[in-house]
Amino acid sequence: MTKPQLRFIINRRLLALLVLVLVLCPRDAWAYIDPGTGSVIYQTLLVILLGAGFLFRKTWSKLLSITRARMNGGQAANPIDTRDPR
């Protein structure tokens, strides 16, 4: 996994955790409730789910393609350089 991808996942996890904390620690209720607020918070959670699904599908298809390439006896779709760089 490349560095930017890793950073992306870590960011995602941290932010997901942050949102979860915000959701679970309600502040004082306001006198006027905007029903839109509930929807926005729901959207943030939904997007985590959709994002996770997207990432899962992407990783899964990548794994599949690598496995298939290996099974076919050829090289992986993105051959990994195993030589010692030093």
Partner 1 sequence: MLYRQVNVAARADYDRLIASGLYDTLVSSKLLIPHEEVVLPGERAPEAYRYLKPRLVPTTSYPYSWCFSQLKDAALLTLAVQRQALAAGMSLKDASAYNVQFLDGRPVLVDTLSLEVSGPTYWKPYRQFCQHFYAPLALMAFLDTRFARLSAVFIDGVPLRLASRALPLRTWLRPGPLLHIHLHAWGEQRFAQQGTRAESRRSPSATGIPALIHSLERATAKLRWTGRSAWLDYYGDRASYTGEAIDQKTRIVQEWLETARPSVVWDLGANTGHFSRVATALGIRTVALEQDPACVEQMYVDAKRRGDRHLLPLVMDLTNPSAAIGWAHEERLSLIERGPADMVLALALLHHLAIGNNVPLDRIAAFLAKVGRQAIVEFVPKDDPMAVALLTGRRDVFAAYGREEFVAALQRHFAIERTVDLPGSTRALYWVIRRD
User: Are the C-beta atoms of 55 and 9 separated by less than 8 Å?
Assistant: yes
Choice between 33 and 80, CB closer to partner 1: 33
Task: Say if residue 48 is exposed, middle or buried (CB neighbours under 10 Å; 0-12, 13-18, 19+).
Answer: middle
The footprint of partner 1 (CB under 8 A) covers 8, 11-12, 15-16, 19, 22-23, 26-30, 33-51, 54
Report, in Å, the least distance between residue 44 CB and partner 1: 5
Choice between 19 and 66, CB closer to partner 1: 19
Choice between 10 and 77, CB closer to partner 1: 10
Report, in Å, the least distance between residue 54 CB and partner 1: 5
Report, in Å, the least distance between residue 8 CB and partner 1: 7
- Tell me the CB-side half-sphere exposure of residue 53, using CA atoms within 13 A: 6
* Angle, alpha carbons 36-41-42 (nearest 5°): 95
Find where tokens 């960011």 sit.
11
